[in-house]
């Protein structure tokens, strides 16, 4: 191409697209923007384009951000591809990133794509599960959780559901309704178990989730969680028993001021006629029998 207005428009179009795609562009997109095969080859030769795989390039420099690598994986698998499974969960913020893990991408069943470092999942992709985050196409939160349900433990899946609610991505009631659309999928059953109205409670931490597993083994209704009571946010509350339980995490090596606040919290609950009970991280994590026995004794007393 000569230095024409058409070329300048093409260059501007490239930079806008590259910015939106985290430094990545495909050969198909370059040709659609008016570049010839010769012009693409020239930019590869002079180092303006850096080949990442067949028909996909990093622009300007070969190094990519994490978002750039994710976008490259999706674009490299075709225009209908979506980030999925654990990679989608990472981008939504539901799971921590695992260094060195392959990137999960879902593609329509008729495509036969193989990319280094990419784990391809062939399946029918419905329009309702197609979303975008930071400009990267990915499966929606409900479908992502269904996909996770068939691959990770219940404890980790429950943590992901809690994270989705905490981030205001999807609430449990909406999730219940949406997973009904995926009946028969491997991940639906574990999700339904977690979301059962009699056993599911939202928690803020891994420690609190561990405490709930102890509660499930007792003849107790599930507690309210994260409620404000007597001027304080409490971890667990059984209103029918007047019982309040707090779990102190590893950060419980508190300052005197923080310890004084905990005393005020317990005193406020006692003054309101409730029974405050507090367990340490070590007790919940390593001495479940003690926690269980203490809860049973206190519940028996309160029930009388």
Q: For 157-208, how does the pLDDT look when each residue is reduced to its tens digit (9 = 90+)?
A: 999 998 998 899 998 889 999 999 998 888 999 999 988 876 788 787 788 8
Do 40 and 96 belong to one domain?
no
Count of structural domains, the chain = 3
Cα 74 from Cα 79, distance rounded (Å): 8
Do 36 and 83 belong to one domain?
no
- pLDDT of 67 > 90? The answer is yes
For residue 147, the enclosing domain spans: 67-195
Q: How confident is the model at residue 2 (pLDDT cuts 50, 70, 90)?
A: very low
Do 149 and 261 belong to one domain?
no
Do 220 and 298 belong to one domain?
yes
Domain boundary (169, 195, 221) is at: 195
Cα 235 from Cα 215, distance rounded (Å): 13
3-state DSSP call for residue 114?
coil
The CATH number covering residue 261 comes to 3.40.960.10
Domain boundary (64, 89, 106) is at: 64
Do 78 and 40 belong to one domain?
no
pLDDT at 166: 86
Instruction: Give pTM, 2 decimals.
Output: 0.75
pLDDT at 68: 95
Q: What is the DSSP string of 20-73?
A: HTTTEEEHHHHHHTT--HHHHHHHHHTTSEEEEETTEEEESSS---HHHHHHHH
Do 110 and 82 belong to one domain?
yes
Distances (CA, A) of 237 to 205, 217, 262: 16, 17, 16
**Residue 200 falls within a domain, yes or no?**
no
Chain segment 7-20, per-residue pLDDT in tens: 666 677 788 899 99
């Amino acid at each position: 191409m000569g230095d024409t207005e058409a070329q300048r428009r093409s260059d501007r179009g490239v930079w806008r697209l590259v910015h939106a795609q985290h430094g990545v562009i495909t050969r198909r997109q370059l040709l659609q923007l008016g570049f010839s095969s010769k012009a693409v080859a020239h930019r590869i030769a002079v180092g303006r384009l850096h080949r990442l795989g067949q028909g996909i390039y990093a622009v300007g420099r070969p190094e990519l951000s994490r978002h750039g690598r994710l976008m490259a994986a999706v674009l490299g698998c075709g225009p209908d591809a979506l980030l999925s499974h654990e990679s989608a969960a990472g981008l939504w913020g539901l799971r921590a990133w695992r260094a060195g893990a392959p990137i999960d991408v879902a593609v329509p069943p008729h495509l036969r794509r193989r990319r280094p470092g990419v784990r391809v999942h062939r399946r029918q992709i419905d329009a309702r599960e197609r979303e975008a985050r930071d400009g990267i196409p990915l499966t929606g939160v409900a479908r992502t959780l269904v996909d996770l349900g068939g691959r990770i433990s219940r404890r980790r899946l429950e943590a992901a559901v809690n994270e989705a609610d905490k981030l205001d991505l999807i609430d449990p009631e909406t999730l219940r309704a949406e997973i009904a659309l995926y009946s028969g999928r491997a991940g639906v059953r574990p999700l339904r178990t977690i979301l059962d109205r009699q056993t599911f409670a939202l928690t803020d931490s891994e420690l609190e989730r561990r405490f709930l597993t102890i509660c499930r083994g007792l003849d107790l209704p599930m507690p309210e969680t994260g409620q404000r009571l007597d001027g304080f946010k409490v971890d667990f509350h059984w209103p029918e028993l007047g019982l309040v339980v707090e779990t102190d995490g590893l950060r419980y090596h508190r300052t005197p001021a923080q310890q004084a606040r905990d005393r005020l919290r317990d005193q406020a609950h006692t003054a309101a006629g409730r029974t405050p009970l507090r367990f340490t991280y070590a007790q919940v994590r390593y001495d479940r029998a003690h926690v269980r026995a203490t809860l049973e004794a206190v519940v028996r007393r309160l029930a009388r």
